[in-house]
A = this chain, B = another copy of it.
Amino acid sequence: MYKNDIILKAAKGEAVERVPVWLMRQAGRILPEYRATRSRAKNFIEFVKNPELACEVTVQPVDILGVDAAIIFSDILVIPEAMGLPYQMIEAKGPYFENTLVTEQDVAKLRIADAGDLDYVIRAIQLSKKALDNRVPLIGFAGAPWTIFSYMVEGSGSKTFSKAKKFLYTQPALAHQALEKITLSTINYLKGQVAAGADMIQVFDSWAGVLGPEQYREFSLKYISMICDALSPLVPVTVFAKDAHFALHDMKSLKCNTIGLDWTINPGEARTIFGNTKTLQGNADPCMLYADTKTIEQEAKKMIAAFGKQRYIANLGHGLYPDTDKERVKFFIDCIKQN
């Protein structure tokens, strides 16, 4: 069916002839082509909500960089919006929510979203599938409930997410109510993505690392696990919990295929923890792509030597930084593909 489906094979633990590669934020500002498409939308939110433009930037990295998968262009914060908490994206500052979760009433008012509330993403997936024409699989995604909750409480990005964490310490039962609503919405949304053609799903827990091990188990992993249980019979699922070094052992029991790793994790230690039960994805430092090509080549070889060629998907340990040189990115991808 696919001209190239090695990423699906690697995720399922099937033998592959070479290591598959894609990069988080590959549909992003490093590509002049992305910036050109982006400039046709009035602002970031309009961009995300325009299926034609979203489709364009989703497909670009497949054509330009030669990655082994596309990932639908969207934003994790479409879920809060669909649940009744709209946001703005402020240039050079990040997301901003006018209304946040504070009281019981705020949580009670949240609606459980379904895929219909996010029809613009569903439509973007359908268009992207068509445009990709089975060249490579398409990855769908959502934020992990804890990360979504932390934005809904904090109202913006934060170094510490201390407001969101305070909520957990002072109103734990209410936090669970909100997290459950977010989880149900996310499951509806991801099932809609799969129905529309997403071949794999990645769950991003961007703010995993602000929690300690016990709170992470109680307020994050529990809900990620519900998502995996609901999705994994349908498509391969990847869980990427950034900075959650303390949770790797717990993540063994998730019903997911792939674990994303940030660059602080030692590949050998991750293999020891997960054995042959999970595919590993990651974990180059995005800053490594600032180096010269000799260094990039060495690092690509080192990654493959450390993770091995099977049950491995090459990627970064975080999204591409916008000032990375497109040619170096392409060089890195070629290095992986030639090994």
Residues of A within 8 A of B (CB): 157, 159-160, 162, 165-166, 168-170, 209, 211-213, 215, 243, 245-246, 263-266, 285-288, 290-292, 295, 317-318, 321, 323
Taking CB atoms, residues of chain B closer than 8 Å to A266 are: 213, 246
Taking CB atoms, residues of chain B closer than 8 Å to A209 are: 243, 264
Nearest CB of B to A322, in Å: 10
Option from B215, B245, B295 in Cβ contact (under 8 Å) with A245: B245
Option from B162, B264, B286, B290 in Cβ contact (under 8 Å) with A170: B290
- B212, A286: Cβ atoms under 8 Å? no
Q: Which residue of B is nearest A169, CB measured?
A: B291
Taking CB atoms, residues of chain B closer than 8 Å to A166 are: 287, 290
Taking CB atoms, residues of chain B closer than 8 Å to A245 are: 245-246, 264
State in angstroms the CA–CA spacing of A286 and B162 once bound together: 9
Q: Which residue of B is nearest A247, CB measured?
A: B264
- A213, B264: Cβ atoms under 8 Å? yes
State in angstroms the CA–CA spacing of A201 and B16 once bound together: 53
Option from B160, B246, B263, B295 in Cβ contact (under 8 Å) with A264: B246
Option from B212, B243, B263, B287 in Cβ contact (under 8 Å) with A263: B212
Q: Which residue of B is nearest A264, CB measured?
A: B246
Nearest CB of B to A9, in Å: 28
State in angstroms the CA–CA spacing of A132 and B287 once bound together: 46
Q: Which residue of B is nearest A284, CB measured?
A: B212
State in angstroms the CA–CA spacing of A291 and B285 once bound together: 36
State in angstroms the CA–CA spacing of A321 and B111 once bound together: 33
Q: Can you list 18 contacts pairing A with B, beta carbon distance less than 8 Å?
A: A157-B159, A159-B159, A160-B321, A162-B286, A162-B287, A162-B321, A165-B290, A169-B287, A169-B290, A170-B290, A212-B263, A212-B264, A212-B285, A212-B317, A215-B285, A245-B245, A245-B246, A246-B265
Taking CB atoms, residues of chain B closer than 8 Å to A288 are: 169
Taking CB atoms, residues of chain B closer than 8 Å to A265 are: 246
* A165, A211, A264: most-surrounded residue (chain B CB, <10 A): A264
Known: A162-B290, A209-B243. 11 other contacts (CB 8 A): A157-B159, A162-B321, A168-B287, A169-B291, A170-B290, A213-B264, A213-B266, A245-B245, A245-B264, A246-B264, A246-B265
Nearest CB of B to A271, in Å: 15
Taking CB atoms, residues of chain B closer than 8 Å to A215 are: 285
Taking CB atoms, residues of chain B closer than 8 Å to A162 are: 286-287, 290, 321, 323
